[in-house]
Each structure stands twice: as C-alpha cells, then as structure tokens.
A and B are shown apart, each in its own frame.
Chain A
C-alpha cells in the first residue's frame, strides 16, 4: 500500500510555543490530505481537510487560527499548532487520499504532542 510519513513522531514543547507537524505522501500525489486528533481512549476526530493549493476546510469547533494548515505541494501538508497549551496535548494523525479508481486514504504513523 501507499506510504504516508509524519515528522516528528513525538514532540514536547513549552506552553505558548508553536509546533509544526509535517505529513508527506511518499509514493503518490495527494490532492487531499486530512488531519485528525485523538485523545486517550477515544476515537479519531477529523480536524480539517487540506486541499493542495487552497485553504483548508475546518470541522466545527476547530480553531483555524490556532491550527494552521498548509498544503503547498501534492506530497506535503503541514499542521502548525500555534501558542500551544496543555489541553492541545494529543495524538495528531494525518492521512492522504489517493484519488482515482482505487480511491483510498492512507494514514501516517501519528505525532504525539505533549505541551508542558
């Protein structure tokens, strides 16, 4: 199957700082990528849909000014958590959509963010 990578795999930061997470589709081009968040013992929650070359679409309740998404190329989307606070600590996961006949989303391994 297609491969999606994320970097970093984990990050610890101080409250008030910003953190950037990268999501790359390694062997296919993805016009659409998605960002999810998962709190302990909960299921994945979609945060936003990222389309290459256009503004991201955020789910209700997700602050677009706090979670900045950039999808500047067909293989890279970034999520920046601005002015992070302890309540932003979570597992952030991206996915990339292949499109075409076998339209499927493949997920990255996730990024564990801990805000102190």
Chain B
C-alpha cells in the first residue's frame, strides 16, 4: 500500500466539525484513498473513499488535494459516538484491494 501518515490523536468539541488529515505522498495515479473507523471492540466501519474528486456521503466528506498527496476527512457535526480510531488507507490496485491498517488517528469528541 502507498504509505499514509496520520496524526496519532485529535480532540474535537461535540457539534463542531472534525477535520482529520492524511498524507499519502507516494500515491499513484489509479490508487484510491479509503477511510475507515474502528470504535472500541468492534469491526472497522467503512466511511468513504475517493480517487481525485471530492466526495460526500451521509457520514462524511472527503477532500483530496489536486496533487493527490494528501486528503482530509471531514465529519461536519461530530457527536460523542464519533469517538473512534480513524484509518486512512491506500490499497495497492491489483492486489485484491488488501488493506494495510496503520496506527490511525484516535479522535476523541469532547462534550
């Protein structure tokens, strides 16, 4: 997988937007960026993915820079239930999309 770098932890006030950054400077032209999160003692939950255009769904927005070397996951109105470890992953295309989980970012939403 293209190497990704995320801050180990972040705090966010409840009701405010949470912006989680990810660097993936070695990403190649046809590799997607995927975001998952894992709440304690549960399986990872898919959030969103994108190639080069910004994406939005009911959970979050994904902003990918024009050079594709970094991206930001935005949770527009964070709630206490959004407290989790967030993983930014770039799977290698053609490898059955195996996902390599790094350390992720521990997001803590504060009341």
* Interface residues of chain B: helix, strand, loop or mixed (majority): loop
Contact A107 B100 (CB under 8 A): no
Residue from B41, B46, B104 within 8 A of A105 (CB atoms): B46
- Max count, chain A CB within 10 A of own CB: residue among B49, B96, B102: B96
A91 to B38, CA, bound (A): 13
Contact A104 B102 (CB under 8 A): no
* Interface residues of chain A: helix, strand, loop or mixed (majority): strand
Contact B99 A46 (CB under 8 A): yes
- How big is the A interface, by class? 20 to 34
- How big is the B interface, by class? 20 to 34
* B residues whose Cβ falls under 8 Å from a Cβ of A: 34, 36, 38, 41-46, 49, 87, 96-104
Chain B residues, CB < 8 A from A104: 34, 46, 49
Q: Does A67 lie at the interface of the complex (its beta carbon under 8 Å from any beta carbon of B)? A: no
Residue from B100, B103, B104 within 8 A of A46 (CB atoms): B100
